[in-house]
Every structure is written in structure tokens, then in C-alpha cells.
């Protein structure tokens, strides 16, 4: 599935004062097939979510128009097998950003097929990309050439969760080496019941097993924080929970930290001041569990009560929770606004 969003221009009276647009909205959703029954079903899936609950707004299917009305806004549904076959302009969509979350395309050449569609100007992939800029908003988004580059990657939910914490530690103390272990909610890639799967272990039932699997988060971090290249290893354990994940970062520091309180203070300051206030949620709740972070707008929820610091101050273990659906989606939207030059003043 891919989504097309486009910027909403300011009225003419504002044009002399604002050089950039201040909002954008969802204009279309692309699927491989589209029957009348599928339109009704997709609207129903948006109204109610098993994890996040009911949609706080209105969702009305419009079968004759092959569309869904979301809070009074018409969102066109488009069926297409190939990106280049779509003409968005026939639906009044111009200069659009396509957000590709199909999982089918990860290479630049494949993603650039979207640019052959009429009405598309940029593409954003919701997965680690190959041969394209991999961006973690808040970490390296300011370093990108958004004027000339047309294809971007928002990395993965895990990469977005660990990068803010790793960035703070690397900048202030330095990281010699480390291992990232992700305790991750099961995903659509796994089987509900035991069945054939091309990947090892993933064929076993996701609902009743903890499943060790690989993750590219360790190497993906280096694309956002180059100084960590070759310093991190990573693995993942898929667990029987539908949403809410945990990253455990076992790090060896270049410069020792005084004690546990000093380590936590470092992360707390980053969560309150600087470029990462929207990325790090510093949690002090001693009873925090995975369901508590569902719906958190930050991509990294730092569990201060779980921090471990070795007596020598050189080895630390840091825990970051993340809503691998909603928290990551917020990062994707932040990046989408950045690459389309949508700017809105935010007051704290």
C-alpha cells in the first residue's frame, strides 16, 4: 500500500510573509486491487483498531467515488499494479509525496518508479532503503539535500528508537562497541499458526512463541550516525504481543560515566532541551510495562529505572521502549513534512 500526500498552499494574502506551506493532507491510498467490498472493509479497519482503539473522527466509505471520507476530507482509493501506471493528476493531485509502505521496494531504482507517475515529486520509504538517504528525524534530517534529492528512507521503527539514545551517548561519552537486543512485537511477516516461511524460525506461530530473528538495526544506525559504523551488533526476539517493543542497548563507553544518576541525567537533559525533545520521552514510572507506551508520540521512551551502570563506569545497559506503530508513524510524518518543506510554528 502506498499513500499520496500533497501540500496545502496558503491563501494569497499570506504569500508575502510565508515562503513555505504550513500543512499537507492525505489525498489518495493506492492498493493492488479495489472492489466495492474492499472499500467498505478498509473503511471499517480505519474506524476500529485492535491495538489503538476507535478512530477519533468520522470515516465514511464512498463506493461510487471509490473513496473514503475522513473527517470530511475526500481520500481517493486507487488500484494499480505498477507505480508508473498511476495518473494522480486526474484526481486533482499535484506535486505529491508518495509514502511507500508496501515492503516491495527498497532500492533506489524501484522507488524511482513512483516518480514516473503523473503528479508525484518525491518518495518516502517506510523501511531501511538501499542507495537512498536513510534518515532518522531529529538525528540527521538537517544534513539532507531536500532540494535536489527526491527519494528518502525513514529507516525502521527500531532504528528510530535507538538512534536518539545512542546519539546522546556518542556525543557526550563516546561508544567503543555495543550490542542491541530488540524485544519486538510480532508482525504481519510472521505466521499466526505454524506454516511454511522462507525465513528461519518465522514460520512458527507468532501468537505463542518467542522467536529469535535477525535485525539490520545495528548497521542501519551507522547511516544516521556514521561514527558508529562497525561498532554495533544487533539481534531481535519477536514476542507474542501485537504492539509495543523494547530495545536493550549494552554499551562500552569511551569515557566512563560517574554513576547511574549521571547517566540518567544525560538522557533527561536531551529529552528536555535541544533537537531531541520530540524523540525522547524520559520515563520515571517504576511500574512501566509495554502497554503503557502504546500511543506515545516519541519514537524512544527511555526507561530510567532500568538503567544499569557498571562500577567502573565503562559499561552501561540502557532500555528504550517504543510504540513500533504509532511512535514510528509520527517520525515518518515529521520527516514527510520536512522533505516537502511544510513548516508550522510550534510553541513549547
Spans of the chain below 50 pLDDT = 7-20
What pLDDT score was predicted for residue 246?
98
Active-site residue identified among 157, 163, 298, 299: 157
End-to-end CA distance of the chain: 35
C-alpha to C-alpha distances, 190 to 103, 195, 203, 239, nearest whole angstrom: 14, 9, 6, 11
Run of H or E including 232: strand 232-239
What pLDDT score was predicted for residue 292?
97
What pLDDT score was predicted for residue 2?
67
* Residue 157 among the catalytic residues: yes
What pLDDT score was predicted for residue 17?
40
Q: Strand 96-100 relative to strand 120-125: parallel, antiparallel, unpaired? A: parallel
Distance CA 260, CA 202 (A): 37
Distance CA 58, CA 41 (A): 15
List, for residues 77-135, the tens digit of each pLDDT value: 999 999 999 999 999 999 999 999 988 899 999 999 999 999 999 999 999 999 999 99
Is this prediction's pTM over 0.85? yes
C-alpha to C-alpha distances, 8 to 20, 121, 122, 310, 343, nearest whole angstrom: 10, 15, 16, 52, 11
What pLDDT score was predicted for residue 15?
41
What pLDDT score was predicted for residue 20?
47
Give the number of other CB atoms < 10 A from CB of residue 329.
17
Distance CA 111, CA 122 (A): 10
Distance CA 140, CA 331 (A): 13
Domain residue limits, the chain: 2-155+329-339, 157-324
Q: Tell me which fold the domain 2-155+329-339 belongs to.
A: Rossmann fold (3.40.50)
Q: Quick one: CA dihedral 324, 329, 335, 338, positive or negative?
A: negative
Superfamily of domain 157-324: Dihydrodipicolinate Reductase; domain 2 (3.30.360.10)
Distance CA 47, CA 45 (A): 6
* Nearest Cα to Cα of residue 281 among 294, 271, 291: 271
What pLDDT score was predicted for residue 7?
47
What pLDDT score was predicted for residue 12?
37
What pLDDT score was predicted for residue 344?
72
What pLDDT score was predicted for residue 348?
55
Give the number of other CB atoms < 10 A from CB of residue 81.
8
Amino acid at each position: 500500500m502506498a499513500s499520496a500526500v500533497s501540500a496545502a498552499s496558503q491563501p494569497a494574502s499570506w504569500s508575502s510573509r510565508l515562503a513555505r506551506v504550513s500543512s499537507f493532507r492525505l489525498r489518495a491510498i493506492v492498493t493492488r486491487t479495489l472492489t466495492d467490498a474492499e472499500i467498505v472493509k478498509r473503511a471499517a479497519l480505519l474506524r476500529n483498531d485492535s491495538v489503538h482503539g476507535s478512530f477519533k473522527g468520522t470515516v465514511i466509505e464512498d463506493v461510487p467515488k471509490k473513496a473514503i471520507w475522513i473527517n470530511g476530507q475526500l481520500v481517493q482509493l486507487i488500484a494499480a499494479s505498477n507505480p508508473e501506471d498511476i495518473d494522480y493528476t486526474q484526481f486533482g493531485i499535484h506535486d505529491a509525496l508518495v509514502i511507500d509502505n508496501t515492503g516491495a521496494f527498497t532500492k533506489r531504482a524501484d522507488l524511482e518508479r513512483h516518480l514516473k507517475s503523473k503528479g508525484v515529486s518525491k518518495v518516502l520509504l517506510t523501511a531501511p532503503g538501499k542507495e537512498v538517504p536513510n534518515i532518522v528525524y531529529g538525528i540527521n534530517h538537517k544534513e539532507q539535500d531536500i532540494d535536489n534529492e527526491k527519494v528518502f528512507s525513514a529507516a525502521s521503527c527500531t532504528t528510530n528508537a535507538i538512534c536518539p539514545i545512542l546519539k546522546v551517548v556518542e556525543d557526550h561519552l563516546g561508544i567503543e562497541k555495543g550490542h542491541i537486543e530488540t524485544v519486538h512485537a510480532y508482525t504481519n511477516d510472521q505466521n499466526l499458526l505454524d506454516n511454511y516461511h522462507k525465513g528461519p524460525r518465522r514460520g512458527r506461530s507468532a501468537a505463542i512463541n518467542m522467536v529469535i530473528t535477525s535485525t539490520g538495526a545495528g548497521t542501519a544506525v551507522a547511516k544516521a550516525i556514521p561514527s558508529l559504523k562497525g561498532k554495533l551488533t544487533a539481534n531481535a526476539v519477536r514476542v507474542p504481543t501485537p504492539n509495543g517493543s523494547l530495545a536493550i542497548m549494552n554499551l562500552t563507553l569511551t569515557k566512563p560515566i560517574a554513576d547511574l544518576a549521571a547517566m540518567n541525567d544525560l538522557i533527561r537533559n536531551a529529552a528536555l532541551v535541544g533537537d531531541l525533545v520530540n524523540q525522547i520521552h524520559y520515563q520515571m514510572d517504576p511500574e512501566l510495562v509495554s502497554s503503557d507506551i502504546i500511543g506515545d508520540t516519541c519514537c524512544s521512551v527511555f526507561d530510567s529505572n532500568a538503567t544499569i551502570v557498571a562500577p567502573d563506569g565503562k559499561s552501561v545497559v540502557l532500555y528504550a521502549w517504543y510504540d513500533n506503530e504509532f511512535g514510528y508513524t509520527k517520525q515518518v510524518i515529521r520527516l514527510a513534512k520536512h522533505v516537502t518543506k511544510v513548516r508550522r510554528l510550534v510553541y513549547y
